[in-house]
Amino acid sequence: MFFEGSEKKAEIYIKSDQCSLLDDIDDHFWHELVAAGNAKILSSISNRYCKAFILSESSLFVWRDHFLILTCGITQLVKSIEYFIEHIGQENITYCSYQRKNEYYSNAQPSSFGDDIKLLGEYINGNALRFGEIDGHHNYYFYKENNQFTNEDKAYEFITYQVNYDVLSKLSSKALTSSDIREFLKLERLFPQFILDDFVFKPYGYSINGLYKDKYFTIHITPQANSSYISIAANVDLIKLVPDILTILQPVSFDLLSTNEHEFEQYIQQQVPTEYVSKTLVKETLKNGSFMCFANYILPQKTFSKANHFNLIEDNHAL
């Protein structure tokens, strides 16, 4: 069974004197916002800084003056952004970014990135970029043009592809519990002190949110061997975790993406094992001052593998 793990991601800041998204807005609003994009809220955790929701497709994090939402599958995240803007008022939005990872099956998506930013453009004057070449893993990125706002927060993404077959078998075994997965991923060691909320999907799939003070991390696992996709996003340093996570997942390819990590170039050279080679390296300072980096690595293949065979009836929807 095919599932599109590739995510769309949006981050929106509001004028902090207007209201607190965390304290003044009830869950009903977030349920409606998520539903506008065709997803559902499944559960939540919170501390005094942030409330984190597990969604039917990925995650939502709400702080006082901003929120971050990731959705995967065939959801339409721009509709959630539109819902937010129409309810909060575009004059109250100081920053908005919308990012979209290229999909395995873009033909199955309800819209293209071009369609998405055409809709966003009705509300927000912005710029569009692509990190990475069109013939490899890449991210489209749209952000509001606003010289008054500088986002200085650091953020990281680490996405793995073609994860080791035995790892995927483990992660898609039937009787798997959330504590099995937490242990397998060594989450207690990688993210100590975080409070956790997770969800094991049937027949496959896993999502987890973690909070510690104003810090978050979120992991989403699509373990299907034909379309494996494991993503980690956080506002704590993920680059220092690269060696550990590569040892656990053993992917053939992975992406690193960072915002405002000024040491990215040197740091990845220290952290990425030498058996991986860099296929794509991009850095860019946005007009609003944010510094973004994107890198894709692959493990060169030494031996020939067999082709993938399809069952014409069962697999047709994923071809």
Where do contacts with its own copies occur on this chain (CB under 8 A)? 104-109, 112-114, 117-118, 121, 126-131, 133-137, 140-141, 161-162, 226-227, 252-253, 265, 277-284, 292-294, 298, 300-310, 312, 315-319
In angstroms, what is the minimal distance from the CB of 300 to its own copies?
Answer: 4
In angstroms, what is the minimal distance from the CB of 114 to its own copies?
Answer: 3
In angstroms, what is the minimal distance from the CB of 193 to its own copies?
Answer: 34
Nearer to its own copies (CB atom), residue 47 or residue 226: 226
Nearer to its own copies (CB atom), residue 130 or residue 182: 130
Nearer to its own copies (CB atom), residue 139 or residue 209: 139
Spatial separation of the C-alpha atoms in residues 259 and 264, rounded to whole Å? 9
- Pick from 186, 239, 240, 178: nearest CA to 205: 178
In angstroms, what is the minimal distance from the CB of 278 to its own copies?
Answer: 5
* φ and ψ at residue 108, rounded to 5 degrees: -90, -5
Nearer to its own copies (CB atom), residue 202 or residue 309: 309
In angstroms, what is the minimal distance from the CB of 179 to its own copies?
Answer: 30
Contact (CB, 8 A) for 99 and 138 = no
Write the burial class of residue 45 (CB in 10 Å: 0-12 exposed, 13-18 middle, 19+ buried): middle
In angstroms, what is the minimal distance from the CB of 212 to its own copies?
Answer: 31
Write out the two tokens for 126.
Answer: 């912005």
Nearer to its own copies (CB atom), residue 236 or residue 252: 252
Nearer to its own copies (CB atom), residue 145 or residue 183: 145
Write out the two tokens for 103.
Answer: 């999909």
Spatial separation of the C-alpha atoms in residues 89 and 123, rounded to whole Å? 10
Nearer to its own copies (CB atom), residue 53 or residue 254: 254
Nearer to its own copies (CB atom), residue 209 or residue 222: 222
HSE (CB half, 13 Å, CA atoms) of 71?
Answer: 25
DSSP helix/strand/coil, 200: strand
Cα 74-75-80 angle, rounded to 5 deg: 165
In angstroms, what is the minimal distance from the CB of 209 to its own copies?
Answer: 25
Spatial separation of the C-alpha atoms in residues 74 and 109, rounded to whole Å? 6
* φ and ψ at residue 204, rounded to 5 degrees: -140, 165
Nearer to its own copies (CB atom), residue 181 or residue 292: 292
Q: Using alpha carbons only, how large is the chain's radius of gyration in Å?
A: 19
- Pick from 147, 179, 104: nearest CA to 286: 147
In angstroms, what is the minimal distance from the CB of 301 to its own copies?
Answer: 5
In angstroms, what is the minimal distance from the CB of 296 to its own copies?
Answer: 9
CA distances from 236 to 69, 97, 107, 218 (A): 17, 19, 34, 11
HSE (CB half, 13 Å, CA atoms) of 99?
Answer: 22
* φ and ψ at residue 10, rounded to 5 degrees: -130, 145
